[in-house]
Copies of this chain bind each other. A is one copy, B any other.
Amino acid sequence: MSDAHSLDALIQALRRLPGVGVKSAQRIAFHLLQHDRAAAQSLSRALSDAAVNVRHCERCHTFTESAVCDTCLDEKRDQSILCVVETPADQSALERTGAYMGLYFVLMGKLSPLDGIGPNDLGLKKLFDRACDGEVQEVILATNFTAEGEATAHVISEGLKARGVKATRLARGVPVGSELEYVDLGTIAHALVDRR
């Protein structure tokens, strides 16, 4: 492949994607060039369009192409509840449940001291200002139930408590459709404590 410079460049560029090593990059490049050049061209356009057009909503930080996203502009949504999530994918999962009609604040990350991501990088100041705007009555902390997600929820809940804003956390418990035998012990312990 020594004299196909654009092929080598393509493999190098693919390797910068998360989770793509040199073998996957070769396989993807081979597939696109051999079987699907139309997909290569459309991915090329999609990448450049998205890199130029997608920005962050001024109110909730999620990805949008307008100054303020449709969700934040939707007057039918409950303006008094704010749900804090880590990523737009988490927001999208909550939306798909159809069970939440409030607004969002998307952190676009989580506290991660090892990666040098502190409260300022997540825009927590902006979140606290918003929570204190008089309209928000409750902040639901829906960060992930991982060590970093829990730490993030803890820091935010402390900050909200200091400002006198009510903070709640998604319930922990046994997932729907699961058999107790296969559920991890920490989850069962939480489900016992939070029984209703």
Q: Is A44's CB under 8 angstroms from B41's CB?
A: no
Q: Is B18's CB under 8 angstroms from A31's CB?
A: yes
Which of B19, B26, B36, B44 has a CB less than 8 Å from the CB of A28? B19
Q: How distant is the Cα of A166 from the Cα of B32 in the complex, in angstroms?
A: 35
Interface size on A, residues (CB 8 A): 59
Q: Is B16's CB under 8 angstroms from A24's CB?
A: no
Q: How distant is the Cα of A35 from the Cα of B27 in the complex, in angstroms?
A: 25
Q: How distant is the Cα of A63 from the Cα of B6 in the complex, in angstroms?
A: 10
Q: List 10 A-B contacts (CB under 8 A).
A: A3-B66, A6-B52, A9-B46, A13-B42, A13-B45, A13-B47, A18-B28, A19-B27, A30-B87, A37-B51
The 4 closest A-B pairs by CB, nearest first: A44-B47, A13-B46, A44-B48, A13-B43
